[in-house]
Amino acid sequence: MKAAAGLKGRLAASIFLFLFLGLFLPGENSLSAQVSGETGAITAISLSGLKRTRAFAAERPLKRFLGRDAEFLNYDEVRAVILDTGILEPLDVAVADNPEGPGKVLRVEVREKWSVFPLPLFFVSSGQISAGGFFIDTNAFGINDKLFLGGMYLSRGWMVSGAYMHSPLREHFPGWSLSGSFSRAERHDTDQREEDLRIFNLDSINVSLGLSYPLTDNLRASLRFSYDEKLLRDHGAPLNAPESGSRSLAAGPGLELRRSSYDGYFLSQESASLGYAFTGGIGGSPSFHKIQWQGIYERSLIPGFRLVFRTGGVYAPRAPVLYETGPSAAGLNILPRFFSARQYGGVSLGLEKYLFKISAGTLSILASYQGGYSQGEILGYQFDHGLAGALSFYLSKLAIPALGLGAAYNLPARFFQGSFTMGMSF
């Protein structure tokens, strides 16, 4: 039965990647198109409103419009590309005659979002308190690099982490990222009702280096290397604890496809990612393979009202207990955040409605139905399903995509939980 489940996971990932490759591979409007000198073609880009951001960093994603026929230009597509930078908001988009040569010039006026800020965090969940803060710069050096550094105090421990992501300075040139973290905590792995299945004390150290290479406007390849060390601390009252810690090196490639659209209310995306990693144990620690995938399909039905479909999964049948992951890998809000498993597969289907918009951003409400399976050492194969909802505030002036309050109910487990989310990742 486990072998059959593994085969299904690999087959689903292959089909998923094939379908999205067909959807996203570039056609006539890719960067490979030559800029023509025809009267109606866009031959230049003019940007205004920049203060901290360097011009080449803001113009780089807009170069895909060079060579396009200005008469058939989709202005919402231009706005989507600008919003997709995460650091700019479009104020005006227009096409005019190019005063310096043949063709047309794409004129774009933007406003920079606030990108440097401290972010204090405070959470209370199931009687546990978490508090801390981070310093974040989402437009480091004005070239759309990302920097964060901070830490959290938890009721059961503490952690510090930091990361820097460098965007490629020109087309067809790789970007890179470097991150590191240390945590000391009493780890609690739970079931669907948030009852403890496993308790042990753990120190974790992780250092990671990533490379990314843009193949087209929509397709990006990546390669990641990491060192991970997990040390068991012998005190407290352990429950089903692993016999020993682990030390390992991991490496693997990834592929990500993404296309965005804008309907005047929502920045929507159609995206898919597939990644593989081999973790090689050091000094007798176990080795294992891991495949992870994610897909998002958001489509506006009418302006301000959209369909939201999300799926994700992890296939790592030989992963040891210390490398089991949480349900966020499959996008499942109906499971507790300390739920632990080595394999996941999840889907979510929902509708999101715009409520109102102010200068600071847009508020929306989302209702969805979720279902998914998991497989772990103690619980084995499980299937869960339930309802989830969220209030999300999409920020227009701050370079954080969204803040949200959510709620989810797991029907089989009769488990309800609330959540706070920040739509941001490094």
pLDDT tens track for 280-291: 999 999 999 999
Residues 239 and 340 occupy one common structural domain = yes
**Number of folded domains that form the chain:** 2
User: With bands split at pLDDT 50, 70 and 90, how would you rate the model's confidence at 379?
Assistant: very high
Determine the structural domain holding residue 45 and report its residue range. Answer: 31-112
- Sole residue written with tokens 């682990």: 246
- Tokens encoding 313: 């999964």
- Sole residue written with tokens 């965007």: 167
Q: Which of 112, 143, 164 is at the close of a domain?
A: 112
The alpha-carbon radius of gyration of the chain (Å, integer) is 23
- Tokens encoding 55: 């011009």
Please give the Cα distance from 313 to 274 (Å, whole number).
10
Please give the Cα distance from 307 to 346 (Å, whole number).
17
Please give the Cα distance from 40 to 214 (Å, whole number).
29
29 φ/ψ sector (left φ>0, alpha ψ -120 to 50, else beta): alpha
Residue 82 reports pLDDT greater than 80:
yes
Residues 82 and 159 occupy one common structural domain = no
Residues 73 and 198 occupy one common structural domain = no
Average pLDDT over residues 377-388: 95
Residue 17 reports pLDDT greater than 80:
no
Please give the Cα distance from 5 to 3 (Å, whole number).
5
389 CB neighbour count, 10 Å cutoff: 15
Q: How many CA atoms lie within 13 A of 62 on its CB side?
A: 27
Average pLDDT over residues 126-147: 87
Residues 83 and 192 occupy one common structural domain = no
Residues 201 and 224 occupy one common structural domain = yes
E strand segments, 54-115: 88-97, 104-112
The CATH number that applies at residue 141 is 2.40.160.50
pLDDT tens track for 86-131: 999 999 999 999 888 889 999 999 999 999 988 887 766 555 678 8
pLDDT tens track for 169-189: 777 789 999 999 999 999 999
Task: Identify the pLDDT of residue 129.
Answer: 75
Please give the Cα distance from 141 to 147 (Å, whole number).
10
Average pLDDT over residues 372-390: 95
Do the Cβ atoms of 426 and 148 come closer than 8 Å?
Answer: yes
User: With bands split at pLDDT 50, 70 and 90, how would you rate the model's confidence at 364?
Assistant: very high
Q: Measured in whole angstroms, how far is the alpha carbon of residue 273 from the centre of its chain?
A: 10
Alpha helices in 25-163 (DSSP H): 55-59, 75-84
Average pLDDT over residues 27-32: 32
Task: Identify the pLDDT of residue 179.
Answer: 97
Task: Identify the pLDDT of residue 130.
Answer: 80
Percent with pLDDT over 70 in the chain: 88
Please give the Cα distance from 140 to 83 (Å, whole number).
17
Burial letters for 279-292: b for 16+ Cβ neighbours within 10 Å, e otherwise? beeeeebeebebbb
Lowest mean pLDDT among 95-109, 204-218, 234-248, 375-389: 234-248
Name the residue with higher pLDDT: 121 or 262: 262
Eight-class DSSP state of 3: H
Q: Which helix (H) or strand (E) holds 301?
A: strand 288-302
The CATH number that applies at residue 84 is 3.10.20.310
